[in-house]
């Protein structure tokens, strides 16, 4: 299925490349600038035509078939990148220009002829057709709820806990004020939001309301929404479509009445427009179902409740699958193993139901085995033609089509480069988007990758797996059925080439993902690798794939999970002059000095490698922004050439995480010249001399210095000094600024500079013991939002009333349960309380009723059932009914501040694979829950 929108995003990307050619003043031949100008003028007209066609507008001037446009656009990109490669090669020393290469370098004359040929092809297309014709399929208009409401009650599985939780919110609680409450049910398509809302609507509690209505919000029209509600309430004499008047009419009609209204599938922020239509001084309820998190947040912002849909656990997944797949007369038949099917469906009720029906049609359980079907049939094949799968096809297409921009769709398709069960680091993904050129920074948005990642999270189309204590997503993945959909769509669009069994060998590829492939050194290999832009390897790559002489235009080289990468491969990789992202794995121990040729490199990630000594050539890379690893510089690193580069102000390094301090010269001496640093991680070894610690103190002082006109930039510092004295911290002085700070070492008192830090938001302290003086001092950090304390034990203290007035998350990781006393009035806005101590008895000194805004309590999975029961009981009595979550305590590794798993979104939580969310409703019990644990993913 061709997607004109993706082509539109690709052409927009080309425009920025062409602009770069003009800006850098590349001149290959006479008339070159004129040809580039023609293409820059023509391409926006084509994208305008494509976008107009997608919007259903047929009166645009230009039309062209998607297939022909894509072919021309790809050739255009190839030509542009070869020009840039040619220019990069010219900037290398003379002895690098004639390196042995598997491909012959094109001459300037040949590149010029190629540019002119591309211009001629577009002109010929214009002469052939007065209008460009864009073939397209109509966007799916399927509403999320179109068939969900017709599932019989007896066929529902795993809904009882969620239903109980929401019935409790629906009911009028004794002692609570009589007012409107908006309940939002939010989650990915196919999780059963509409079914859950229907059960609420038809419940005994739901039927007790005086006025009731069920309407769809999928059309996004506030006026129609209000009209539909009025019609369902039997007020049929509507004489206007004006939203303001409809709001007044509905408000008058509902005045002094208890009402219950469900708005199913709301897709836009209509609430701020229509909320005045609903009287708020009567105990009434509105339930909104939506897949968009920001819509749920807006609707339920005041006196509301948000229910995040979760996937079914293994037990309920199997139950739902068998209910749909296995005829009743075969219920006692020895059933084949369904593990492969359940893994593919990933706890998604719609997938389990649909695939169950599909398997029944294939005469399961006596017919084809699940393993055979999984290996031979793509359930989400875009052109399968199987009517059993139509409903799921439409939901997936509708969900993909609803992604708000073409560029964002390209970013989403990039998830297909990673295996379905492989959590992807969010920052790794975002840096690869930028390296590929999907997104371009601008004056309006300096970090488009972060902005677009948040949009995908907001759409609930990707799921967070790990969330750090500051609520930032650390790792994520796509849902099972959606991952296969985007994988097939990416292959169909020639967006990626996937090698997971060496079954398909396309001639021309642009992005390659090797996922546990079966390539051997003797495998027949007939692929042109010269045009590949991204290469990501999971497992073995093979000799031919690691022959970097065959590549030329590579921008992303991700080999951190490659098992057969060796030092010897890297010398040729240094000829990849357009490379922007490089990540290396564990067999690599040294970097060649030729790495200085990668002048466009922006990210170098050595965290999975064993590189201990970093060549100074890396520091001199002019575009390097992010440097990861744990290394020191070679002896005599303080060369004039390095200092000259740093003093010139050309260094763009923002992330330096991290470096070692010992008796030798190194980063501490150079750090003061790196004026753009925003994230620094440092390990102090026991061999560090007092003079080196003094040098480090001066470098840190300069890094944290607070300029009077400084903005609140995301500056962070992580210091690990287990092996040496912390005295050098005492000399750090105000004025100073950091947003995030981690200190790990022997901390007897809180260093004075911590108290002086302007607007410190995140703090992690790790020591064998944290003293009373230190803990008491923390209470004065009035801007702190996230606090994590890791120790064997804490001294006994009391956190006083009004202490830590902005704290949102408090995390304890303790060997012994020595929690502080917390007075009522302290931590007034605390939302998340994390108590990682397997020996915790009861709930210690902490009274959760004091935390009025509490939303979740997380416990170590090793605590006793009695402790869990006490906490569940306390949570039931809390007005917010916070979730009680069990999981294994994060490992307090010195590598980085440890993330926690998102209890509402992670696969382990939703599938019951270890982490548990315990019910806290009035009838909650622990009968159906076991206390297991999982390891958090770093």
pLDDT digits (tens, 9 = 90+) for 875-891: 888 888 888 888 765 55
Q: Which of 450, 474, 455 is nearest to 464 (CA)?
A: 474
- The rounded distance, in Å, linking the Cα atoms of 708 and 706 is 6
Q: Calculate the alpha carbon distances from 676 to 617, 649, 655, 672 in Å.
A: 19, 9, 9, 10
Partner residues linked to 916 by β-bridges: 886
Show which of 115, 132, 149 is a domain's final residue: 132
Q: What is the pLDDT of residue 705?
A: 92
Do both 835 and 714 map to the same domain?
no
In this structure, is the dihedral angle defined by the CA atoms of residues 319, 325, 329 and 332, taken in order, positive or negative?
negative
- The answer to which of 201-205, 345-349, 532-536 has the lowest mean pLDDT is 345-349
Q: Please, which residues have CB within 8 angstroms of residue 147's CB and are 6 or more apart in sequence? A: 391
Q: Please, which residues have CB within 8 angstroms of residue 30's CB and are 6 or more apart in sequence? A: none
Do both 854 and 719 map to the same domain?
no
- The answer to which of 64-68, 303-307, 732-736 has the lowest mean pLDDT is 64-68
- The answer to which of 22-31, 269-278, 692-701 has the lowest mean pLDDT is 22-31
Bin 802: left if φ > 0, else alpha if -120 < ψ < 50, else beta.
left
pLDDT at 921 over 60: no
Q: Calculate the alpha carbon distances from 269 to 181, 188, 288, 453, 600 in Å.
A: 18, 17, 12, 20, 41
CB 874 within 8 A of CB 848: yes
Residue 714 counted as domain residue: yes
Partner residues linked to 263 by β-bridges: 215, 288
Tokens of residue 584, six digits:
């290396």
Show which of 345, 370, 392 is a domain's final residue: 392
Strand order in the sheet with 305-308: 211-216, 259-264, 285-290, 181-186, 305-308
* Stretch 824-832: mean pLDDT: 91
* Angle at CA of residue 697, ends 691 and 701, nearest 5°: 150
pLDDT at 143 over 50: no
* Stretch 575-590: mean pLDDT: 93
User: Per residue in 617-674, pLDDT tens?
Assistant: 999 999 999 999 999 998 775 667 888 898 888 899 999 998 999 888 889 889 989 9
DSSP state of 632: B
> Which range, 30-44, 493-507, 781-795, is most confident?
781-795
Q: How many CA atoms lie within 13 A of 199 on its CB side?
A: 23
* Stretch 13-23: mean pLDDT: 69
Residue 24 counted as domain residue: yes
Rounded percentage of the chain residues whose pLDDT exceeds 70? 77
DSSP state of 144: T
Do both 167 and 290 map to the same domain?
yes
Q: Please, which residues have CB within 8 angstroms of residue 172's CB and are 6 or more apart in sequence? A: 178, 283
Q: Which of 299, 300, 311, 295 is nearest to 345 (CA)?
A: 311
pLDDT at 286 over 80: yes
- The rounded distance, in Å, linking the Cα atoms of 192 and 335 is 27
User: What are the backbone angles phi and psi of residue 581, rounded to the nearest 5°?
Assistant: -130, 125
- The rounded distance, in Å, linking the Cα atoms of 484 and 478 is 9
More confident residue, 163 or 365: 163
Provide the pLDDT confidence category of residue 753 given band limits of 50, 70 and 90: very high
Q: Which of 618, 626, 668, 677 is nearest to 645 (CA)?
A: 618
Q: Give the ranges where 129-260 is alpha helix by DSSP (H).
A: 160-170, 193-201, 222-232, 243-254
Residue 904 counted as domain residue: no
Concatenate the DSSP letters of all residues of 458-482 into one string: HTTSEEEEEE-TTS-EEEEEE-HHH
Do both 239 and 127 map to the same domain?
no
Q: What is the pLDDT of residue 829?
A: 94
> Mapping DSSP to helix (H, G, I), strand (E, B) and coil, where does residue 819 land?
coil
- The rounded distance, in Å, linking the Cα atoms of 50 and 661 is 56
- The rounded distance, in Å, linking the Cα atoms of 760 and 291 is 34
Q: What is the pLDDT of residue 903?
A: 33
Q: What is the pLDDT of residue 824?
A: 86
Tokens of residue 793, six digits:
């034990």
Do both 779 and 851 map to the same domain?
yes
Q: What is the pLDDT of residue 936?
A: 26
Residue 141 counted as domain residue: no
Q: Which of 632, 654, 195 is nearest to 447 (CA)?
A: 654
> Which range, 105-119, 697-711, 902-916, is most confident?
697-711
Tokens of residue 455, six digits:
């949009």
Q: What is the pLDDT of residue 132?
A: 44
Pairing of strands 655-661, 626-631: parallel
User: Per residue in 31-71, pLDDT tens?
Assistant: 667 777 777 776 776 666 666 555 544 444 334 466 666 77
DSSP state of 839: T
Show which of 622, 656, 685 is a domain's final residue: 622
Residue 149 counted as domain residue: no
pLDDT at 896 over 60: no
More confident residue, 568 or 501: 568
CB 778 within 8 A of CB 751: no
Tokens of residue 489, six digits:
């769509």
Pairing of strands 181-186, 809-814: unpaired
- Provide the domain count of the chain: 7
Do both 770 and 702 map to the same domain?
no
> Which range, 326-330, 598-602, 688-692, is most confident?
598-602
Residue 368 counted as domain residue: yes
**pTM as predicted:** 0.87
pLDDT at 210 over 80: yes
- The answer to which of 362-376, 413-427, 464-478, 677-691 has the lowest mean pLDDT is 362-376
Pairing of strands 679-684, 655-661: parallel
CB 251 within 8 A of CB 279: yes
- The rounded distance, in Å, linking the Cα atoms of 177 and 129 is 68
pLDDT at 844 over 60: yes
Q: What is the pLDDT of residue 641?
A: 82
Largest CA distance in the chain: 87
Do both 486 and 504 map to the same domain?
no
* Stretch 727-738: mean pLDDT: 91
Do both 298 and 359 map to the same domain?
no
pLDDT at 546 over 60: yes
Do both 616 and 731 map to the same domain?
no
Residue 513 counted as domain residue: yes
Do both 565 and 599 map to the same domain?
yes
- The rounded distance, in Å, linking the Cα atoms of 896 and 120 is 55
In this structure, is the dihedral angle defined by the CA atoms of residues 693, 695, 698 and 699, taken in order, positive or negative?
negative
User: Per residue in 438-461, pLDDT tens?
Assistant: 888 777 778 899 999 999 999 999
Do both 322 and 381 map to the same domain?
yes
Partner residues linked to 562 by β-bridges: 539
Do both 274 and 164 map to the same domain?
yes
Q: What is the pLDDT of residue 522?
A: 57
Provide the pLDDT confidence category of residue 908 given band limits of 50, 70 and 90: very low
CB 153 within 8 A of CB 259: no
The CATH number of the domain holding residue 582 is 3.80.10.10
Residue 618 counted as domain residue: yes
pLDDT at 80 over 70: yes
- The rounded distance, in Å, linking the Cα atoms of 664 and 660 is 10
CB 651 within 8 A of CB 625: no
Neighbour count for residue 528 (Cβ, 10 Å): 12
CB 436 within 8 A of CB 603: no
Structural domain that includes position 174: 159-308
Partner residues linked to 581 by β-bridges: 556, 603
Pairing of strands 900-901, 856-860: unpaired
* Stretch 759-768: mean pLDDT: 94
Provide the pLDDT confidence category of residue 183 given band limits of 50, 70 and 90: very high
User: What are the backbone angles phi and psi of residue 281, rounded to the nearest 5°?
Assistant: -100, 15
* Stretch 121-145: mean pLDDT: 51
Q: Which of 840, 832, 889 is nearest to 860 (CA)?
A: 889
Q: Please, which residues have CB within 8 angstroms of residue 101's CB and are 6 or more apart in sequence? A: 549, 575
Provide the pLDDT confidence category of residue 467 given band limits of 50, 70 and 90: confident
């Amino acid at each position: 299925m061709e997607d004109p929108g993706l082509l539109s995003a690709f052409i927009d990307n080309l425009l920025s490349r062409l602009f770069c050619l003009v800006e850098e003043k590349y001149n290959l031949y006479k008339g070159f600038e004129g040809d580039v100008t023609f293409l820059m003028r023509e391409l926006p007209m084509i994208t305008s035509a494509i976008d107009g066609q997608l919007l259903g507008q047929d009166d645009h001037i230009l039309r062209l078939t998607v297939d022909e446009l894509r072919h021309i656009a790809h050739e255009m990109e190839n030509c542009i990148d070869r020009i840039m490669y040619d220019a990069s090669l010219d900037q290398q020393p003379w002895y690098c220009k004639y390196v042995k290469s598997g491909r012959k370098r094109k001459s300037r004359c040949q590149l010029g002829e190629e540019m002119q040929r591309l211009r001629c092809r577009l002109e010929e297309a214009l002469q052939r057709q007065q209008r460009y014709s864009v073939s397209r399929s109509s966007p799916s208009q399927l509403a999320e709820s179109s068939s969900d409401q017709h599932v019989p009650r007896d066929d529902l599985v795993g809904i009882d806990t969620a239903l109980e939780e929401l019935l409790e919110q629906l009911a009028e609680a004794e002692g609570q004020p009589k007012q409107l409450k908006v309940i939002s049910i939010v989650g990915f398509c196919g999780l059963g939001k509409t079914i859950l809302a229907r059960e609420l609507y038809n419940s005994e509690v739901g039927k007790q309301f005086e006025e009731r209505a069920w309407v769809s919000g999928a059309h996004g029209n506030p006026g129609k929404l209000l009209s539909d509600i009025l019609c369902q309430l039997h007020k049929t004499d509507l004489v206007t479509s004006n939203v303001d008047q409809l709001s007044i009419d509905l408000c008058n009609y509902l005045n002094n009445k208890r009402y219950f209204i469900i708005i199913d599938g709301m897709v836009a922020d209509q609430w701020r427009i229509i909320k005045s239509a609903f009287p708020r001084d009567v105990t009434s309820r509105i339930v909104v179902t939506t897949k968009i998190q920001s819509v749920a947040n807006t609707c339920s912002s005041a006196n509301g409740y948000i229910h995040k849909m979760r996937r079914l656990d293994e037990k309920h997944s199997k139950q739902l699958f068998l209910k749909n797949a296995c005829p009743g007369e075969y219920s006692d038949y020895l059933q084949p193993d369904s593990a492969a099917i359940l893994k593919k469906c990933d706890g998604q009720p719609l997938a389990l139901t649909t695939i169950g029906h599909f398997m029944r049609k294939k005469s399961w359980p006596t017919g084809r085995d699940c393993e055979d079907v999984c290996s031979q049939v793509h359930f989400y094949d875009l052109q399968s033609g199987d009517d059993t799968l139509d409903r799921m096809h439409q939901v997936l297409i509708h969900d993909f089509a609803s992604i708000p921009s073409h560029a964002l769709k390209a970013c989403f398709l990039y998830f297909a480069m990673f295996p379905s069960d492989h959590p992807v680091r969010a920052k790794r993904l975002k840096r690869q988007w930028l390296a590929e050129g999907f997104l371009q920074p601008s004056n309006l948005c300096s970090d488009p990758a972060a902005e677009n990642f948040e949009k995908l999270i907001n759409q609930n189309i990707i799921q967070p797996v790990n969330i750090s204590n500051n609520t930032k997503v650390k790792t994520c993945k796509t849902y099972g059925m959606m991952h296969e959909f985007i994988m097939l769509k990416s292959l169909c669009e020639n967006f990626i080439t996937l090698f997971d069994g060496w079954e398909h060998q396309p001639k021309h590829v642009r992005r390659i993902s090797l996922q546990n492939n079966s390539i051997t050194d003797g495998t027949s290999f007939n692929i042109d690798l010269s045009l590949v832009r991204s290469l990501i390897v999971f497992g073995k790559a093979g000799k031919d794939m690691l022959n970097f002489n065959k590549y030329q235009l590579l921008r992303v080289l991700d080999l951190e999970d490659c098992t057969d990468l060796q030092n010897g491969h890297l010398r040729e990789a240094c000829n990849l002059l357009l490379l922007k992202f490089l990540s290396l794995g564990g067999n690599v121990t040294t970097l060649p000095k030729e790495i200085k040729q990668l002048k466009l490199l922006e990210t170098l990630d050595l965290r999975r490698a064993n590189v201990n000594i970093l060549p100074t050539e890396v520091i001199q890379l002019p575009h390097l922004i992010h440097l990861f690893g744990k290394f020191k510089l070679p002896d005599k690193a303080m060369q004039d050439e390095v200092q000259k580069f740093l003093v010139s102000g050309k260094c763009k390094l923002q992330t330096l995480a991290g470096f070692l301090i010992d008796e030798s010269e190194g980063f501490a001496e150079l750090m003061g010249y790196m004026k753009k640093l925003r994230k620094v991680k440092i390990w102090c070894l026991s061999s560090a001399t007092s003079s080196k610690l003094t040098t480090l103190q001066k470098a840190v002082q300069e890094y944290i210095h607070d300029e009077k006109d400084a903005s609140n930039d995301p500056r962070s510092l992580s210091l690990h000094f287990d092996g040496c004295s912390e005295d050098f911290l005492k000399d750090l002085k105000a004025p100073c600024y950091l947003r995030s700070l981690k200190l790990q070492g022997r901390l007897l008192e809180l260093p004075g500079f911590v108290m002086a830090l302007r607007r410190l938001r995140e703090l992690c302290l790790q020591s064998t013991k944290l003293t009373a003086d230190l803990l008491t001092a923390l209470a004065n950090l009035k801007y702190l939002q996230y606090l994590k304390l890791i120790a064997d034990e804490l001294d006994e203290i009391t956190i006083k009333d009004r202490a830590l007035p902005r704290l949102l998350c408090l995390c304890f990781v303790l060997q012994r349960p020595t929690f502080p006393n917390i007075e009522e009035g302290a931590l007034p806005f605390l939302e998340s309380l994390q108590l990682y101590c397997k020996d915790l008895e009861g709930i210690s000194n902490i009274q959760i009723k004091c935390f009025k805004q509490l939303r979740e309590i997380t416990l170590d999975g090793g605590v006793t059932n009695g402790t869990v029961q006490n906490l569940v009981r306390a949570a039931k009595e809390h007005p917010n009914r916070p979730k009680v979550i069990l999981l294994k305590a994060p490992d307090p590794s010195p590598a980085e501040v440890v993330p926690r798993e998102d209890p509402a979104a992670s696969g382990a939580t939703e599938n019951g694979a270890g982490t548990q969310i315990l019910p806290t409703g009035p009838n909650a019990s622990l009968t159906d829950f076991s206390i297991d644990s999982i390891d958090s993913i770093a």
